[in-house]
Structure 1
Amino acid sequence: MHFDFDGTTPLYLQVAEQIEEAILSGTYDAGEQVPSTTAISREFHINPATVLKGMNILVDRKVLEKRRGMGMFVLDGARERVTFNRRTDFFEQQVSPLVEAAKQIGLTEAELAALIERGYGIK
């Protein structure tokens, strides 16, 4: 895990993002325990309440589950939920504004698709 203490993204969101990244990369699979709030807070010198806030976001998103007295575990289907959420965010934050900007300068759907294909190196 790596945290940007000087950046604009709150640490609790960085905690959630880092755990999601670990799930996407296969570091933590369904059923596996993630590091405890205490372990993360000690290793990275982050307030335990901040770490817990980030983990609770993932509990709310049905990515992690709390097991009383045992810790936090990755839920079945967590990787798919994280992927779905990231794709949704990508559409809302990147694609939708791109389409609006393309419309403003008069690009057709075909012209925009051609530019995207060019970006992928297809043509």
Structure 2
Amino acid sequence: MEDQSVIFHRNMFRKTKNLVNRKISTGILLALAIGLVPQLSLAEEIVGRLSYHWSPKHTSAVYAEMFAEEVNKRAKGRLRIDTYPNKQLFGIREVLGPITAGSVELGAVIGIVGFPSVVKDFNIASFPGMW
């Protein structure tokens, strides 16, 4: 006849083993689910917004549109660049902040105009008659 403590420990071992097996199974299922999430997101189209201040006929705007068209063509539905000319989203002086904050993904930034608002040392290029 088995001792009561042996029976107790055997039962506890079985319960612990079952609990561990369930946790491992749950962990494996969770890992598989997490592994599948990026695969699902790969199927979605990523949209990048390009904000610039030039009018549509400006040379830089023409090249920005060419860039967007080329990206859209080569990405084959995985990535799309939408352009916003004429300060539709942000102007030349305020576009840098929204880019760093993630409000817009791409923007036309001109260092002499945009950077001094972030780093005051860039103002040296703004001294009249200095260059």
Give the TM-score normalised by the residue count of structure 1.
0.28
More strand by share: 2
Give the TM-score normalised by the residue count of structure 2.
0.27
